[in-house]
Structure 1
Amino acid sequence: MRALTWQATKQLAVIDAPEPRIEEPTDVVIRITSTAICGSDLHLYDVLGPFLEKGDILGHEPMGIVEEVGPEVTTLAVGDRVVIPFVIGCGHCHFCRLGLTTQCETTQNYDHGTGASLYGYTELYGSVPGGQAERLRVPLADFNALKVGSELPDERYLFLSDILPTAWQGVQYAQLPERGVLGVIGLGPVGQFASRIGVHLGHRVVAVDPVPERRAMAERHGVDTFDLDDEAAVWLREATDGRGPDAVIDAVGMEAHGNPATAMTQSMVGLLPDPVAKKLMTTVGVDRLAAMMLAIDSVRRGGTVSLSGVYAGVADPMPFMTMFDKQIALRMGQCNVHAWRDTILPLVEDPADPLGTEDIVTHHASLEQAPEMYDLFRDKKDGCVKVVLHP
């Protein structure tokens, strides 16, 4: 089969890769019909290369058609249309029963001290082959593969794999009061959906992003927007009677603009031999924190900062005096997709499309075009907000 693979830092290639097969009786194999590029895929492209091997298959936002079924699978059959969450849970361990599937005790990566296994996301999370390919093996399929209808286009369902539940969790973690004000930093795919979810739930949403096309997209869905500049925090406070939003979602993470010295350091570490780079990244690694600092600066006193953007630093400096003085609550974590998808599914299938799932994809491409699409998405060229690949 054809698959997008990591070859080196900032080097990807579509190659012939081994066909997936049933390895456990609870597996299925799917033929992928749509698979998206996620903002967190860019971390692999730019920063986390020391934890990848040449030839690793990337991608964790797939959906498709079941082609093979293991003998112990009970809820799926050949021909079913399914969406695959990026998190691989078991459904029966202590944490899965609590709804914390990202901490699944069955797939947790104890050797690295990290959480549940993820598709296409480094040795830290299981080195599981990803979904930017023609086919995918889905472990523990009864729990992980969500069967969906056949009438609606892929775009209605695809984002249940990651960015819609991630945005939903971000808004839930924001702990907004009734008809509160939600600030959103970053209007990439997660920020777009978080903003729309906030509006859908009856909140006022104010958002900041440097890309005009992204701001225009958010404004179509009832969001007040502002450019990312030195006055962004001032604007967020002035838009809320000088107090700041009740909660702010950082939907950017470690890909934040700014912090040029940190960005240069990350690039240099990524070019070191893997053993050296891994040691540095797991002991003294730091993130670009501009988005988080803006969230902390702009949120009102007693408010909440909700982190949906991914961070990977282990030695990040944090302004604890400010956080303590402002009495800020901080919520974060990989999305527990399984906990939210049943709530979101009726909205996805609503003919009115209240979350605008059909107004998020700006670029469709073939799998063979994936390497250039990564560059386009990273550089935010051509108004790129979301790329969907079709194997």
Structure 2
Amino acid sequence: MQAAVMEAFQESLTVKEVDDPEPEPDGAVARIDSVGVCRSDWHAWQGHWDWIDYRPEPPHILGHEPVGTIIETGPQVEEVEVGQQVAIPFNFGCGHCHLCRTGHENICENHIGLGFSDEAPGAFAEKVHIPTADVNAVPLPDSIDPKTAAGIGCRFMTSYHGVAHRADVGRGEDVVIYGLGGVGLSGVQIADALGANVIGVDINDAKLEKAEDLGAVETVNANEVDPVDEVTAITNGGADVSVDALGIEETTRNAVHSLAKNGRHVQLGLTTEEESGEIPLPVDLFVATEIDFYGSLGLQPSHYPEMLDMIRTGKLDPTELVSETISLDEIPGTLEDMSEFNTIGLPVCNEF
């Protein structure tokens, strides 16, 4: 099969012929119908995230936002069937540990990250292997067409879990989202669908305009004003929920400082080499104002149905986030453009 292979960190991916994956006894192989190109892929390509064991060694196939059609299953697979179109979460669970059995398979005790772990080659390819397929392959309803399915990868489903579950955003709440890349823009649409008043913060006017299109009631250009002061003024004292969708010290701290007392912060963005996973935070403020700080990773496969129901009924529309469709040959250039933050929304590869 053809795949875009990372031969070395920070060097352009090479599109070439590689061996087809073979299904493990409890695994399945899917033909890739579409796969997003995400800033998290860029981080892996840069060689970041060894501090969370998300640094695959080259040569390796990246890509963690696939939708595919099952073409082969192992003999132990009981539920997933050949011919099914499936969403494939990047956060693979084993299905047997305590966390998996209690509905937290996204942080499985034996967690494997699709495209981020050496043992899980990713989906910048014509085919991908899905371990423990009955747990990790999510059949898509016929009512969700391939174009819509293309937009529900890591960025969208990660935002859904963070906003809907971890923050538990409710009607009428003020939600501020710092960083309007694919994750942040997804969060805008999702929080709006849940009834929140969403404020988007970025330094890129095109991204701010897109946030308004997706439901933000206000936007703030952090290059023009102090975003904390502006958000505090807009919300008459601070937001109920803040989200950092970028992962740098400035946005994380600003997001926390934008909260009202008893606010909830959700961290979706992971850090770069500069921070290496460590950001100083005002912990005394957490104590004095009873602020909650939540981490959020991916989305449990068992929780996909509620997100898919919101898509099926039109409350969410991932197609509004898909900025462009590209071919496998274009993935290397799209990844490189992310070094300059030159992408808006979700670039999706659907030609192999």
TM-score, scaled to structure 1: 0.81
What is the CA–CA distance in structure 2 between the aligned matches of 1:222 and 1:64, rounded to whole Å? Answer: 30
- After TM superposition, give the deviation of residue 226 of structure 1 in Å: 1.3
Q: Which residue of 1 aligns with 2:220?
A: 226
Other structure's SS at 2:150 match: helix
Amino acid at match of 2:14: A
What is the CA–CA distance in structure 2 between the aligned matches of 1:52 and 1:358, rounded to whole Å? Answer: 30
- After TM superposition, give the deviation of residue 152 of structure 1 in Å: 4.0
Q: Does 1:252 align with 2:213?
A: no
- After TM superposition, give the deviation of residue 149 of structure 1 in Å: 3.6
Q: Which residue of 2 aligns with 1:363?
A: 324
Q: How does 1:295-374 map to 2 (within 5 A)?
A: 295-311=255-271, 313-350=276-313, 353-374=314-335
What is the CA–CA distance in structure 1 between the aligned matches of 2:311 and 2:171, rounded to whole Å? Answer: 23
Kept in 1, the 8 Å contact 2:36–2:153? The answer is: no
Q: Once the two structures are superposed, what CA deviation does each residue of 1:75-100 show, in whole Å capped at 9, x if it has no partner?
A: 22222111111111133421012221
Q: Once the two structures are superposed, what CA deviation does each residue of 1:191-231 show, in whole Å capped at 9, x if it has no partner?
A: 11211111111111111012222211221122021112251
Q: Which moved more, 1:156-165 or 1:200-209?
A: 156-165
Q: Does 1:130 align with 2:122?
A: yes
Kept in 1, the 8 Å contact 2:31–2:126? The answer is: yes
Q: Which residue of 2 aligns with 1:273?
A: none
Q: How does 1:7-156 map to 2 (within 5 A)?
A: 7-11=7-11, 12-22=13-23, 24-48=24-48, 51-105=55-109, 108=110, 116-123=111-118, 127-150=119-142, 152-156=144-148
What is the CA–CA distance in structure 2 between the aligned matches of 1:36 and 1:86, rounded to whole Å? Answer: 12
Q: Which moved more, 1:310-319 or 1:371-380?
A: 310-319
Among 329, 340, 344, the residue aligned to 1:379: 340
What is the CA–CA distance in structure 1 between the aligned matches of 2:302 and 2:250, rounded to whole Å? Answer: 30
What is the CA–CA distance in structure 2 between the aligned matches of 1:36 and 1:9, rounded to whole Å? Answer: 20
Among 205, 209, 213, the residue aligned to 2:206: 213
Among 171, 179, 192, the residue aligned to 2:172: 179
- CA 47–251 in structure 1, closer or farther in 2 if over 3 Å, else same: same
Kept in 2, the 8 Å contact 1:377–1:384? The answer is: no
- After TM superposition, give the deviation of residue 60 of structure 1 in Å: 0.7
Kept in 2, the 8 Å contact 1:91–1:143? The answer is: yes
- After TM superposition, give the deviation of residue 157 of structure 1 in Å: 1.9
Kept in 1, the 8 Å contact 2:2–2:15? The answer is: yes
Q: Does 1:3 align with 2:19?
A: no
Kept in 2, the 8 Å contact 1:59–1:120? The answer is: yes
- CA RMSD after TM alignment: 2.0
Other structure's SS at 2:4 match: strand
Q: Once the two structures are superposed, what CA deviation does each residue of 1:95-131 show, in whole Å capped at 9, x if it has no partner?
A: 01222113323xx2xxxxxxx10111045xxx41011
Amino acid at match of 2:102: L
Q: Once the two structures are superposed, what CA deviation does each residue of 1:34-74 show, in whole Å capped at 9, x if it has no partner?
A: 01112211211224287332220101111111111111212
Kept in 2, the 8 Å contact 1:30–1:136? The answer is: yes
Kept in 2, the 8 Å contact 1:165–1:340? The answer is: no
Gaps of 5+ in 2: none
- Higher strand proportion (structure 1 or 2): 2
Q: Which residue of 2 aligns with 1:188?
A: 181
Q: Which residue of 2 aligns with 1:199?
A: 192
Among 289, 292, 297, the residue aligned to 2:252: 292
- CA 49–343 in structure 1, closer or farther in 2 if over 3 Å, else same: closer
Other structure's SS at 2:92 match: coil
Other structure's SS at 2:61 match: coil
What is the CA–CA distance in structure 1 between the aligned matches of 2:100 and 2:147, rounded to whole Å? Answer: 27
Gaps of 5+ in 1: 109-115, 254-287
- CA 386–178 in structure 1, closer or farther in 2 if over 3 Å, else same: closer
Other structure's SS at 2:348 match: strand
What is the CA–CA distance in structure 2 between the aligned matches of 1:246 and 1:212, rounded to whole Å? Answer: 25
- After TM superposition, give the deviation of residue 302 of structure 1 in Å: 1.8
Percent identity, please. Answer: 28
What is the CA–CA distance in structure 1 between the aligned matches of 2:309 and 2:46, rounded to whole Å? Answer: 36
What is the CA–CA distance in structure 2 between the aligned matches of 1:180 and 1:35, rounded to whole Å? Answer: 33
What is the CA–CA distance in structure 1 between the aligned matches of 2:15 and 2:266, rounded to whole Å? Answer: 36
Q: Once the two structures are superposed, what CA deviation does each residue of 1:346-387 show, in whole Å capped at 9, x if it has no partner?
A: 12222xx32221111112110111110112234233x63211
